[in-house]
Amino acid sequence: MAAGFDTVLVVDFGAQYAQLIARRVREAHVYSEIVPHSATAAEMLARSPKGIILSGGPMSVYADQAPVLDPAVYELGIPVLGICYGAQLIVRQLGGEVRRTGTGEYGRTELRCDPASVLFSQWPEMTEVWMSHGDSIVAGPPGSATIASTPDVAVAAFESVARGLFGVQFHPEVVHTARGQELLKRFLHDICQCRPTWTHISVIEAAIEEVRARVGRARVLCALSGGVDSAVVAALVHKAIGDQLSCVFVDTGLMRAGEAEQVEATFRRQFGMDLHQVKAADRFFGALKGVVDPEKKRKIVGELFIRIFEEVAATLPGVAYLAQGTLYPDVIESGTSAAATIKSHHNVGGLPAEMALELIEPLRLLFKDEVRAVGEELGLPEEIVWRQPFPGPGLAVRIVGAVTPERATILRAADAVVLDEVRRAGMGHELWQSFAVLPAVRAVGVMGDERTYEYPIVVRAVTSDDAMTADWARLPYELLERISSRIINEVDGVNRVTYDITSKPPGTIEWE
C-alpha cells in the first residue's frame, strides 16, 4: 500500500514509543513504518526513506546490552531525528557526552529554545515539553549546535544541519508537549521534504488500485466478522472488484449476542453483498475442548477459520484470494523482527503454514483510528465504524480456562449487559473497549439465604487511541453498580462481579 508515498522510518528502541511516534507521523500525512534497531543501514536504505526517527526507550545508553544503531545510518545523507534515548544514542555514537548527572527530568518542563535554529524556527523562546529521562546530554556531537535547554539540562536539543542530525531530550510525540506535533511537522515537511499525501482518500485509492492489479479477474473471499476491521476490508474490496467478492461469516458459537443477525442485516440486506453464513459452533467447541493455553486457542481458531474458508471457496468457481482485516498492531503484537510476541493474533501468528488461498490484507499497514476514518470515507454506517474491537477468536479468549458451550452462554449474556449499560450511559464513544471476562473458577456466594458456588465475571473497560497502549476507564460507580446488579440478577451461573483496573502495559487489553 505504501508505494507512491514518501516514507519515514521509525527505529524501535522499545517501550511503545515507536508506535506512538509512527502514528504522529501519519497524522502529519506522511507514511511511517517501524523498523527494529538491529536493521542495517543497507536495509533501511532499501526502503527509500526520506527521514529516520530514533525512538525513545527504557534503557540507559550505558547499560549492558543497550540497543545501538548501525553507525553507517548517520552517513546515508538522510535526515535523522533522535528522541530522548534516540538523541542520547546519536551523541554517544558520534563523540558527544551523555552522563548521569544525578538530576533527571520527569513530567512537564519549561524549555528555552533558539528560534533562529532550523528545528525550532519561529518558535517562542519559552515553551512547555514533556521529559522522561535519567541520563542527560552534557555535550552534543562535535560540530553540532545546542539549540535548547531547561533549568536542569544544558543540552535539551541539538542540531547539526550540515550532517542532517537533530536530537531532542523531550518527547514531542506525547500530547503534554505543547508544540510537539509542530516540531515533527517541521522535521518531516521542511527538513525531510516529505509530501503530505498520506490521507484517507489517498490510502483508499492506493488500496483499490493494488487490489485490482493483484486480483485481476479472480474471485475473492472476505472473512467477515461484523467488526469494523473486516467491514472496512469488505467495503474496500467490494469497491475495488464489485461482484467478484463473496463474504463469509462463520458463526463459531463464540460471538457476541446478536452478532449473526447484525451481519446479515447490514451486509446482505443493506449493502447487497454476496454473503455466505456457516454455522460451525460444534466444530469450534470440539476443536477447543480441554484447551486452556491461550496461544493454542488462538492457533486452533485461526486454522479452523482458514479451513472453513477453504471449504466455502471450493464451492465457488475462481476463488483464489482471502481478504481479512489484519491491522498494523496485530502484526506488531504477533511478533516481528522489531517486537517480541505479546500474543499471536488469530489472523497473523495463528495462521496455518499451508493455505490454499492467497491473503489480501489492505489494512495491514494501518492503525485502528486510520481504519475508522477510512470506513467513514467509504460510507459505512456509524454503528459499524465505531463498533468496539472484538477478538477474532471471540469469547474463546475471554474465557480464562477451558472453553465450553455453557461458559460461552454465560459470558455472552454478561457481556451483553456490559455493552447495553455502557450504551445507555452514553459512554460508547469514550471507551475503546468494554466487555466481560469469565475466569473458569468458582467463587462462594450467598443468594436467597443459600450458599452458591458459581462463576465470577470480570468487567474490563479501557480508553485508548490505537490499542498499543491503554488506560483503565474510570467508570462512574453508579454505572458499575448497575452492571453488577444486572449481571448477578439476570445471568444464571454468576454470583460475583469485579472490575479490572490494570492499564496496558503492564497488562494487555484482553485477558488472553
Catalytic residue (one of 37, 133, 171, 346): 171
Which three cell numbers mark 379?
A: 460510507
Three-state secondary-structure class, residue 12: strand
DSSP bridge pairs for 35: 11
Query: Residue 171 catalytic?
Result: yes
Among the listed residues 504, 512, 404, the one whose alpha carbon sits nearest the alpha carbon of residue 458: 512
Distance of CA 158 to the CA centre of its chain: 32
Closest by CA to 223, choosing from 65, 128, 357, 337, is 357
Query: Whole-angstrom Cα distance, residue 496 to residue 490?
Result: 12
Strands 450-463 and 471-472: antiparallel
Q: What are phi and psi of 127, to 5 degrees?
A: -150, 165
Cβ density class 464-485: b for 16+ within 10 Å, e for less = bebbbbbebbebeeebbebbbe
Q: Please indicate whether residue 189 is annotated as part of the active site.
A: no
Q: Identify the bridge partners of residue 128 per DSSP, sorted by sequence position.
A: 110
Selecting among 105, 173, 259, 361, the annotated active-site residue is: 173
What is the per-residue burial (b if ≥16 Cβ within 10 Å, else e) of 432-460?
bbbbbbbbeeeeeeeeeeeeeebbbbbbb
Q: Considering 29, 37, 84, 159, which one is annotated as catalytic?
A: 84
How far apart are the two ends of the chain, measured CA to CA in Å? 31
- Torsions phi, psi for 393 (to 5 deg): -70, 0
At 415, phi and psi to the nearest 5? Answer: -65, -40
| Distances from the Cα of 263 to the Cα of 239, 248, 275, 457, angstroms | 18, 10, 9, 27
- Residue 429 a catalytic site member: no
In terms of C-beta distances under 8 Å and separation of at least 24 residues, what long-range contacts does 203-210 make, across chains too? 203/1, 203/366, 203/370, 203/374, 204/236, 204/239, 204/374, 204/377, 204/378, 206/1, 206/3, 206/4, 206/5, 207/1, 207/236, 207/240, 207/362, 208/236, 208/239, 208/240, 210/1, 210/3, 210/362
Q: Annotated active-site positions, please?
A: 84, 171, 173
